């Protein structure tokens, strides 16, 4: 279904866990529980998620330009793109869009506050990421979103060194760099991808509630990953 992520974008996940003192076992537990919770779900079972991923891959491969939206983006910047541009938003940065007409999906570990809920309520595609520190987030969201009249379509991702059926490790760490890893994993050409709102020197206004000091550390990892992938020239603009 998708191309193998770059080895560096996977290896960095182990480095990040070591740097922050996080346990892979917690990441595994969260991913397995999310997998089990949706296994027989009417809208989000493995078959439905696979159809969503196929649809998303087809859209992104056909798009002439894909703009990945980071948390430091200015809303007016997004209005400068033409109607052929396809957007992929990282978590709460989806709130910078005036509407969802050209939105392909949101890549999120589910701390994007009300902006994410609004996109979900409008039936958008959410690439939901499971890790050891967000189990309460995804448990709350799947209950809430299930009740929407037009619930979102989902794709599931994880960050562990084992195969989990119905979920994918696209590589990366933060929502922003993972969004880029996700797009690349679908086989999209690098020169079709543009990044806006990716700043490693300040916390973006579209970020969720966070510990500023830890967030800055995470942004440094994001910058490292994006630079290794060849997107460093988009940072801090």
Model pLDDT for residues 9-28, shown as the tens digit of each residue:
888 999 999 999 999 999 99
- Does residue 199 lie in a domain region? yes
Secondary structure of the chain in the HEC alphabet?
CCCCCCHHHHHHHHHHHHHHCCCHHHHHHHHHHHHHHHCCCCCCCHHHHHHHHHHHHHHHHHCCEEEEECCCCCHHHHCCCCCCEEEEEEHHHHHHCCCCCCEEEEEECCCCHHHHHHHHHCCCEEEEECCCCCHHHHHHHHHHHHCCCCCCEEEEECCCCCCCCCCECCCCCCHHHHHHHHHHHCCCCHHHEEEECCCCCCCCCCCCCCCHHHHHHHHHHHHHHHHHCCCHHHCCC
Q: Average model confidence (pLDDT) for the chain?
A: 94
- Check whether 1 has a pLDDT greater than 60: no
Which pLDDT does position 113 carry in this prediction? 72
Range of the domain at 53: 7-230
Would you say residue 215 lies in a domain? yes
Q: Grade residue 111 by pLDDT with cuts at 50, 70 and 90.
A: confident
| 164 belongs to a structural domain | yes
The contacts of residue 189 (CB under 8 Å, 6+ apart) are none
Tokens of 39: 């296994």
Whether 15 maps to a domain, the answer reads: yes
Could you give the number of structural domains in the chain?
Answer: 1
Given a cut of 90, is residue 32 above it in pLDDT?
yes
**Beta-carbon contacts of residue 18 (< 8 Å; ≥ 6 apart):** none
Give residue 7's pLDDT.
Answer: 60
Look at residue 5 in the predicted model and tell me its pLDDT.
Answer: 60
In the structure, what pLDDT confidence band is assigned to residue 3 with cuts at 50, 70 and 90?
low
Query: Residue 72: CB partners within 8 Å, gap ≥ 6?
Result: 197, 198, 199, 202, 203, 204, 205, 206
**Predicted confidence (pLDDT) at residue 4 exceeds the cutoff of 60:** no
In a domain, 2, yes or no: no
CB atoms within 10 A of CB 127: 26
Share of the chain above pLDDT 90, in %: 90
Give pLDDT, residue 124: 98
Characterize the bridge pairing of strands 153-157 and 193-196: unpaired
pLDDT at 88: 98
Please, what is the Cα angle at 63 between 150 and 128, to 5 degrees? 40
pLDDT digits (tens, 9 = 90+) for 39-83: 999 999 999 999 999 999 999 999 999 999 999 999 999 999 999
Predicted confidence (pLDDT) at residue 188 exceeds the cutoff of 60: yes
What's the confidence (pLDDT) of residue 2? 57
Q: Is residue 237 part of a domain?
A: no
In a domain, 222, yes or no: yes
């Amino acid at each position: 279904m998708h191309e193998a992520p770059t080895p560096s974008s996977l290896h960095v996940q182990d480095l990040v866990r070591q740097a922050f003192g996080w346990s892979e076992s917690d990441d595994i537990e969260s991913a397995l529980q999310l997998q089990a919770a949706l296994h027989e779900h009417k809208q989000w079972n493995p078959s439905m998620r696979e159809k969503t991923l196929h649809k998303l891959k087809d859209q992104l491969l056909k798009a002439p330009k894909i703009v990945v939206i980071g948390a430091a983006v200015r809303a007016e910047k997004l209005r400068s793109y033409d109607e052929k541009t396809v957007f992929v938003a990282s978590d709460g940065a989806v709130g910078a869009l005036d509407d969802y007409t050209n939105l392909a999906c949101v890549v999120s570990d589910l701390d994007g506050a009300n902006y994410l809920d609004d996109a979900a309520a409008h039936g958008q595609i959410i690439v939901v990421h499971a890790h050891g520190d967000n189990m309460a987030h995804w448990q709350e969201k799947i209950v809430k979103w299930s009740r929407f009249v037009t619930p979102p379509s989902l794709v599931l991702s994880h960050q562990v060194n084992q195969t989990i059926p119905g979920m994918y490790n696209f590589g990366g760490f933060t929502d922003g760099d993972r969004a880029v890893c996700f797009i690349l994993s679908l086989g999209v050409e690098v020169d079709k991808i543009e990044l806006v709102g990716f700043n490693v020197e300040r916390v973006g206004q579209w970020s969720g509630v966070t510990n500023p000091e830890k967030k800055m550390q995470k942004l440094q990892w994001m910058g490292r990953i994006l630079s290794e992938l060849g997107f460093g020239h988009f940072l801090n603009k």
